[in-house]
Structure 1
Amino acid sequence: RIRESIDQGGVQELASSIREVGLINPITLKRVKKRFEIIAGDRRFLACKMLGFKQIEANIKEKTEEESEEIKLAENIIREDLNPIDIANALLYMENKLKITAEKIARRQGKTKNWVERKIALLKLPVDCINSIKERLISEKVGIELGKVEDTIERKRLLSYAIAHGATWKVVNDWVINYKMNRGVEEQIKNKELGQAEIKGQTVVKVKCMLCGKEGDITEMKYEPCHKECYAELMYEIQKRGK
């Protein structure tokens, strides 16, 4: 089965529709030894089962495993029925197990090679980001951006704020930029590389003010103690107000 999870709410809605108008599109099966496997129509099958149907109409196709997987993927992509992580796993399975190249997958699915590679790359994200994308708590772009935060504790904090506030990619991108900037400053302070500006040719370290957005000498910036939770909340409010 190409999908790892099925939206039960969606199945119930489909069942209500089938109850009213019947099963318009038969499911598609392929023969596997003495049994049958669903190629297309998982949700329709579950909806009919939910309604207590003993028999439903089905088309039987003689397909190879490669052809079957491509049909399953195509149907779900067209209907936007799979979450991005299930799609990524399906693409990886086709590439690794069935030995279908990214170019061939892309061509048959009406996508680009870059699209295939970007989807598969989602599986390299931290587990917390993968699970949040899979559960549709955050978008792919937000998950990719949060995946750039190496500090697990900080990433989880930002992830929780992104979910709680429905943060857009732009807001999260600014969070990550500030995280990396502050981390860089902390590293320089730790290594005692920061001093007064222009001492014997030393380069002036410039950072962007998180309030006005203008760059300035770091020695002229003011840093106040702040909890990470408070900092994330402050950054969210600043971005929300368009500052």
Structure 2
Amino acid sequence: MTRHRKKEQPYTSKLRGVAALLESTATTDNLSAKVAELVPLDKVQKASSQPRQYFDPVKQQKLEASISQHGILEPLLVRPVDLGRYEIVAGERRYLAAKGLGLSEVPVVIKELSDIEAIQIALIENLQRVDLSPLEETEGILQLLSVATNLDREQVILLLYRMQNESKGKVTQNVLGKDLATKIIQIFDDLGRLSWDSFVSSRLPLLKLPKDVLSVLQQGKIEYTKAKTISRLKDDALRKQLLEEAIASSWSLSKIREQINKIQPKFQQEKILGHLDSTYRQLKKSRKMFLTNPKKRKKLDSLLTQIDKLLEAEI
């Protein structure tokens, strides 16, 4: 029997999804069997904590066509907020499709949920039903941790990095943060896929990727391992070109690495030649300063001697 690493396994979260929340042993496709009610569409609002930020326009068009023909077969899960309004917990794609079709009302199941319950359900439902992009998954988990620990996003990230450094013995353990660390570890165990340390080492670096790489990653156009590799190219124009070619030709990770290895030596050569020309021009402009300043003159003489030796070695 094939064994899968934890990060490759599908989500089998201990946290409650929609079906578990509604005390059903079935999947969320049977939500329509629950008592639903129609509410005005303008009384429903999107949740700021929705993990999924990108919706494939082609899939949205197909969903609109289906709803236009058959109606909304599965009600949205919402929770009441102030002034008789409802916030979406699960079903944003159906909500957007309903808006696109100009519907005046939508079927919903209303449940009283806390902030953390709402985020948990939204995250788990997206992970189980349609794959989130790694970036969306990362942001969703950070939202969940933020609510669970009562820390803001940046504080959560700092805490995770501190936990990593503590586990490696780079810093002493923070007794005051022990309870928070225990809570974070438990949440990752409950999610049932990535361990907390794997999340720190493989997912948090995604937040530091260049904007052009982040954009295609969020849209699911490229795998995160390929995105991380391409991001190593610091030249914006070269990175953009490689990114477009990798997506258009569906390059493998090894192909991307091969192309980067071809590009970098040439780029480095051009960079060094440009630096050499620029430095030479600056030296010509500033030669009087080197001649009149004893310390700078001595330093320049030493550097020129090193260059002479380098040239002689090349010959």
Question: Normalized against structure 2, the TM-score is what?
Answer: 0.53
Match of 1:51 among 80, 101, 117: 101
Deviation at 1:85, TM superposition (A): 2.4
**Counterparts in 2 of 1:177 and 1:86: CA distance versus 1, 3 Å:** same
Give the aligned partner of residue 4 of structure 1: 53
- Number of aligned residue pairs: give it: 197
CA contact (8 A) 1:39 1:69 kept: yes
Give yes or no for the alignment of 1:132 onto 2:220. no
> What is the distance in 2 between the residues matched to 1:167 and 1:173?
10
1:60 maps to what in 2?
110
Residues 148-199 of structure 1: CA deviation (Å, up to 9, x unaligned): 22333432332233234332211112223445566788899987499469xx
In the aligned structure 1, how far is the partner of 2:256 from the partner of 2:221? 14
Computing the radius of gyration from Cα coordinates, the structure with the larger value is 2
Gaps spanning 5+ residues in structure 1: where? 198-243
Match for residue 87 of structure 1 among 123, 126, 137: 137
Structure with a larger share of its residues in helix: 2
Partner of 1:33: 82
- CA change 1:182–1:65 in 2 (3 A) is same
Against the structure 1 CA distance between its residues 66 and 163, is the aligned structure 2 distance closer, same or farther, given a 3 Å change threshold?
Answer: same
CA shift, 1:29, in A, is: 0.7
Q: Which has the higher contact order (CA 8 A, sep 6+)?
A: 2
The runs of 5 or more residues in structure 2 that have no matched partner are 1-47, 150-155, 157-182, 277-306
- Cα deviation, 1:59-102, whole Å, max 9, x if unaligned, reads 11111111111111111111225333222222222334543865
Q: 1:21 to 1:105 in 2, by over 3 A?
A: farther
- Secondary structure at the counterpart of residue 106 of structure 2: coil
CA drift of 1:129 comes to: 1.0
Whole-angstrom distance in 2 between the partners of 1:45 and 1:5: 14
Do the aligned partners of 2:80 and 2:112 also contact (CA within 8 Å) in 1?
yes
- Which structure 2 residues correspond to residues 1-243 of structure 1 after superposition, within 5 A? 1=48, 2=50, 3-34=52-83, 35-80=85-130, 82-96=132-146, 98-99=148-149, 102-113=184-195, 116-117=199-200, 118-179=202-263, 192=310, 195=313
Show the counterpart of 2:299. Answer: none
Shift of the alpha carbon at 1:143?
Answer: 0.5
Percent identity of the aligned residues? 26
Please give the secondary structure, in 1, of the residue aligned with 2:78: strand
Provide Cα deviations, 1:104-130, integer angstroms capped at 9, x if missing partner.
Answer: 443333312256433333111111211
TM-score normalised per structure 1: 0.66
Where 1:57 maps in the other structure, the secondary structure is strand
